[in-house]
Amino acid sequence: MTTTAERLPVLHPLSTGIEIPGHGRGSRPGYLPATPRTVLWGRLPCADDSPVLTINAGESLWIDTVSHEGILEDQGRDPVAFFGGHGVPAVDVLHDAVRVAREVSHDPLTDGPHVITGPIEVRGARVGDVLSITVLDLALRTGYGIVSNRHGRGALPEQFPVDGSLDVVSILCTVDQPVGAAGTALTGSMAAGPGDRRRVRFPLRPFLGTMGVAVAGTERAHSVPPGAHGGNVDVSLLGVGSTLNIPVQVPGALAYVGDPHFAQGDGEVALTAFEAPLRAHLRFDLIRRETLTAPRALWGETEELLIPIGLDVDLNEAMRQATRSAVALLTDAGMDPAHAFAYLSAAGDFAVSQVVDRVSGVHGKIRKADLVELLEAAPSPGG
């Protein structure tokens, strides 16, 4: 078991030079805490929901997120007791996770597991615009988290859990104490087996699994399947420096974030990855519908990559959707569609984002360096 001294202190920023707001009660300018008033558990906002905060396009916020792991009903809905059973002292359990477990309504039979913070109204956002959520920074709020396999789900439901039961299997992961200069890459680790003192170590790649906008109508969407609204997209490339572009579904957008991860492999095969809470610094921008050459599907972007995204219950169709989105991005950049399709076959990469969220995901990776002659002469896709 990792000792208290080995665990990472709360609020370790992934970049340097950015002030992180301290703990405090209630909201403040530029900071949205996760409280029973500002979160939803298991459902995503719809058009009928009132915003917990309103901002202007172009503004940024620090937003606290709470992980669902450790607070769910099949884990006792008591994070102090649950994490205590894994050797985590009560003082290291987040107070907002305790309050969510105690005070926020949740039905495990009908709701999803995820806790989301929001909704946030973006003034002037219209249906047909695109909301761009840029991840400016992420800070780890704990030095531990959980990978879970449960209820015959995941990529190998016939094999795991290994005893054939439908019980939850929760494996504690910890953050290795950083060594050396600021900016040193962080790593996480887990035991090689029950009671095994050896540890398997891996790089941390924190990101928000859920970023989205409210769905139209009066019914809140389930938190598990992603869709045109974004939601539980689980694309691990969407870490610090990335942008997720989401077509606005309702006036004001009513954005939200959640499902924080410290690390996730493409596929997320065991149902969850290294689930643990983050404090996110996010900027909210609008791409106006008048500037779009055509209605756009969900897509992401980093400094180096364009990231087309495909979502469908059929993994093959998700791949086709990601390819169509990739062709559209390249066409917007100035390529002929047939040549874009050929380029993708020669130089584009596609990966399975996840196969565990009812709706499977595939994301592509298009190197901007390959398109430098096009991007210098034309506006970026959608802008």
How do residues 223-262 score in pLDDT, each as one tens digit? 999 999 999 999 999 999 999 999 999 999 999 999 999 9
- For the domain that residue 285 is a member of, what is the CATH number? 2.60.120.580
Model pLDDT for residues 175-219, shown as the tens digit of each residue: 986 544 444 578 999 999 989 999 999 999 999 999 999 999 999
With respect to residue 383, please indicate whether it lies within any of the assigned structural domains: no
Q: Work out how many domains the chain is built from and give that number.
A: 2
Coil, strand or helix at 145: strand
With respect to residue 382, please indicate whether it lies within any of the assigned structural domains: no
Whether the Cβ atoms of residue 318 and residue 361 lie closer than 8 Å to each other: yes
Residue 145 bridge partners (DSSP): 173
**Tokens at residue 126, please?**
């219209």
Among residues 247, 271, 290, which one ends one of the domains? 290
Per DSSP, the residues of 16-41 read SS-PPP---SS-BTTEE---TTTEEE
Q: What's the count of helices (H) and strands (E) in the chain, helices before strands?
A: 5, 23
Whether the Cβ atoms of residue 29 and residue 61 lie closer than 8 Å to each other: no
**pLDDT (0 to 100) of residue 271:** 82
- For the domain that residue 345 is a member of, what is the CATH number? 3.10.28.20
**pLDDT (0 to 100) of residue 181:** 42
Q: Are residues 278 and 314 in the same domain?
A: no
With respect to residue 380, please indicate whether it lies within any of the assigned structural domains: no
**pLDDT (0 to 100) of residue 166:** 59
Q: Are residues 43 and 13 in the same domain?
A: yes
Among residues 231, 262, 290, which one ends one of the domains? 290
Sites in the chain below the pLDDT cut of 70 = 1-29, 151-152, 163-167, 177-184, 377-383
| Domain around 334 | 298-375
**pLDDT (0 to 100) of residue 322:** 96
Report the relative pairing of strands 278-287 and 305-312 from DSSP bridges: unpaired
Among residues 244, 264, 290, which one ends one of the domains? 290
Q: Are residues 90 and 169 in the same domain?
A: yes
pTM score over 0.85: yes
Sequence-distant (6+) residues with CB within 8 A of 161 are 149, 150, 167, 169
Q: Are residues 234 and 121 in the same domain?
A: yes
Q: Are residues 211 and 349 in the same domain?
A: no
**pLDDT (0 to 100) of residue 297:** 86
**pLDDT (0 to 100) of residue 186:** 84
Q: Are residues 193 and 313 in the same domain?
A: no
Distance CA 151, CA 273 (A): 16
Q: Are residues 189 and 102 in the same domain?
A: yes
